Chain A
């Protein structure tokens, strides 16, 4: 199998690693870059646990060829925190609302929600449900995840208003 050096921009940093043609983005993130926060749960694009952002759009890293992610800005759960360690409002809201139980779907939920709030800063509950409908959670029953996303939207908007 042919191999070559691939360059990936992940969480604002470039990283070079050896890639093979069949490798998936989730494999590069987890196995080459040690970013294990992104989870592999179905490897078929059905459950959303592997969701990362590519140029701001949520994608399933388990069905994205690694080579197709080169040249795109990839963002994973590890990149959500500010440089000073401050939690992203979504992370804080997930903690405040107890929106994680086992935590396996959490990274995917956070990344999907981040993309939603960037595209739609004032979502309705129905908007949130629709946005998260590709992300499975087997523990929480979703209600607290939806609560957390609604709360985070408010926090982000309030912070923006203060800044403006």
Chain B
């Protein structure tokens, strides 16, 4: 990695260690399950063990009699409460034209379960153990219905129809791009390359599972939810506007430390609704923390997509056009963010290449599987995987090196801004320069020597490359900066840090921009009672939207402070300059610190009434346009031909994140996101059997990468700052998740000598041995 010399405090651009880490390394984090409230009861859930069935009856009487049980509540009880459904709010109207199938989504089901793990009833008891024990006493009678267990099954002609108003199990079928232009492009093509790719279904499997505590404040008539979320304001908005139908000020949502999310914890879940509902009924705080196997079946999943299409090339291997159809398995019903990934994926199929024409049909299907939602990268990994495997396959078909075909197609700085053939307009970047740097760093051309060295050790070595562009900075954001009457500053952030280290990043920014000492800056986030509005943290957005809004708040503070300082110093504002935290009167020794000005702003006597009371400012930023991080990652693997095991022996990452606010934290995001890409490439997959039973419901069944999977990573930045935001930054938290899978799979194919784009995700040892045997059989067959 880059040599860094971390420091405990510093400004914008410094490698500052995290102020969060003292509490996290000493066991003082406060996560959801660490919170104990007086009188707190515990909720456990009765879930469907069927994939698709009518609920005939729910017998709760025995459970109700059990020791410690306070209530057993069913779907019928919930329906009678009048609480609303969880809505889907992520289908882009401009693309779908509103044409998508709405699904009922009450927190407890009454008539039909549609996936294993669906919620049928809840038990609330004095202890978690009593609640879990009583769940076993609830008798649910089901009448099984025909099951659709996969994307492929949903598409088959004789598939059972899961919703009457969704013929062919289609949720939507929309299109972007220009079909006529693509037709014309294919007409003049020398090479046409077909490809189908399949993204496995993934489990976020954050180390801290979801979990919630509901409190009903009868005194104030107010609902208070503490939950493991990445976006408290979205949870509050959905609770207030769709479920409770009350003004937002009647609902408080807050979170403490959150143990990872990766898209899982972006919006409201049924269990959030149920703890509040139970709390109101029982007039006691109610906590729900799932078991891990419960989390695996209850949590929304990610990915599960098929992309099928063809690309047209000229004689030199230059891209002429792309046509593709992507199908996303959205599960049994739509969650709030279910529409995010399909449409992000569709638009990012434009890729980092000069692609004159493109047309994408994007479809969603229902199946008897868990609802899908964003998973780190959210659509960009799906798009990148298809494009990169397409270029690998095309390289083989046309007779080009995988690096060479990319070199001929990547966009350069002088082609910017570049309007893609789909939706986006890339504002800046030099994708080709990033690629060339990675190729040099990896010594791509010198690979055969290393292959021979590995061969001498009995190992098959391969190299793979992947280029990508992604889109980050979604939505808008609002940041407040408030000085208190001791002259210290608090950032009140609309973003929500759940492992990213924002409290450090924002303190760095404020130290730099306002010249305040590091320890005089604190950050508040994750509580709708303290933060007026916020977008939470997802999709590599926070440094761009939070940082840009904070920059504007700081600029306003400087201006407001100058007015106050001018009065105090009996100067005109024109005479004052602001440098390193000080207002300095030109051509004199007179100066006042911003903190002194802030203290003065609260004075009862001496502070002019027309300047108000206190010193604070609000900055906002709306990501119009968004920004486009990009990069090139190169992997070398060694495959053990006897066991089919893969070792990642070298990993080169060259990325363009615009500007690095804290290189130490950025590296953490880069490596961490790469680990998720490694997981997707090699081991991760949610599996349902033919009856719709989810068979991956433990860490022994769903593999996540371990320390032994991870390669050394050589990382460099080749940044092109963007002028679409005041900081020049681009997202940087998903790069490896996007780039790693295609590069790793290509490297394995290269190692074992099987055709390009023939292996599928995740590439297990079993698949590798199978491919090796086929390759060896072919070699033997040749004389």
Contacts and interface: CB of A to CB of B under 8 A. Distances in A.
A101 B26 contact: no
Nearest to B736: A141
B31 interface: yes
Nearest to A37: B27
B706 interface: yes
A62 B304 CA distance: 32
Nearest to B29: A103
A135 to B, nearest CB: 7
A100 B25 contact: yes
B708 A133 contact: yes
A139 B204 CA distance: 11
Given A41-B208, A141-B671, A98 B292 contact: no
Contacts of A72: none
A140 B664 CA distance: 12
Contacts of A107: 27
Nearest to B206: A138
Interface stretch (A2-10, A63-71, A77-85, A154-162): A77-85
A35 to B, nearest CB: 7
Given A132-B707, A136-B207, A144 B668 contact: yes
Contacts of A144: 667-668, 671
A94 B20 CA distance: 12
B21 A41 contact: no
A101 B29 CA distance: 12
A138 B205 contact: yes
Interface string A134-156: 11111111111110000000000
Contacts of A101: 260, 499-501, 668, 672
B251 interface: no
Contacts of B707: 128-130, 132-133, 135, 137, 142, 145-146
Contacts of B28: 37
Given A87-B25, A106-B25, A139 B665 contact: no
Contact of B259 (A43, A103, A146): A103
Contacts of A76: 27
Kindly state the interface size class of chain A when it binds its partner: 35 or more
Contacts of A133: 706-708
Interface residues of B, number: 59
Contacts of A115: none
Nearest to B499: A102
Given A44-B699, A143-B710, A136 B704 contact: yes
Contacts of B480: none
B66 interface: no
Contacts of B469: none
Contacts, number: 178
B700 A44 contact: yes
A143 B26 CA distance: 21
A38 B27 contact: yes
B262 interface: yes
Interface in A28-84: 30, 35-44, 46-47, 49, 76-78, 80-81
A134 B708 CA distance: 10
A43 B291 contact: yes
B713 interface: yes
Interface in B188-225: 204-209
B436 interface: no
Interface in B640-696: 664-665, 667-668, 671-676, 678
A100 B497 CA distance: 13
B7 to A, nearest CB: 10
A44 B22 CA distance: 28
A126 B25 CA distance: 23
B152 to A, nearest CB: 29
Looking at B207, B668, B678, the one whose CB has the most chain A CB atoms below 10 A away is B207
A80 B22 CA distance: 12
Contact of A103 (B6, B24, B204, B674): B24
B83 to A, nearest CB: 30
B17 A41 contact: no
B258 interface: yes
The 5 closest A-B pairs by CB, nearest first: A37-B27, A104-B259, A103-B24, A102-B499, A141-B675
Interface of A: 22, 30, 35-44, 46-47, 49, 76-78, 80-81, 87, 91, 94-98, 100-107, 110, 128-130, 132-146
26 contacts: A36-B31, A37-B27, A37-B29, A42-B292, A44-B698, A46-B700, A96-B17, A98-B18, A98-B501, A98-B667, A98-B668, A100-B21, A100-B24, A102-B207, A102-B259, A103-B259, A103-B499, A104-B259, A104-B260, A106-B24, A138-B206, A138-B676, A139-B668, A140-B675, A141-B672, A141-B736
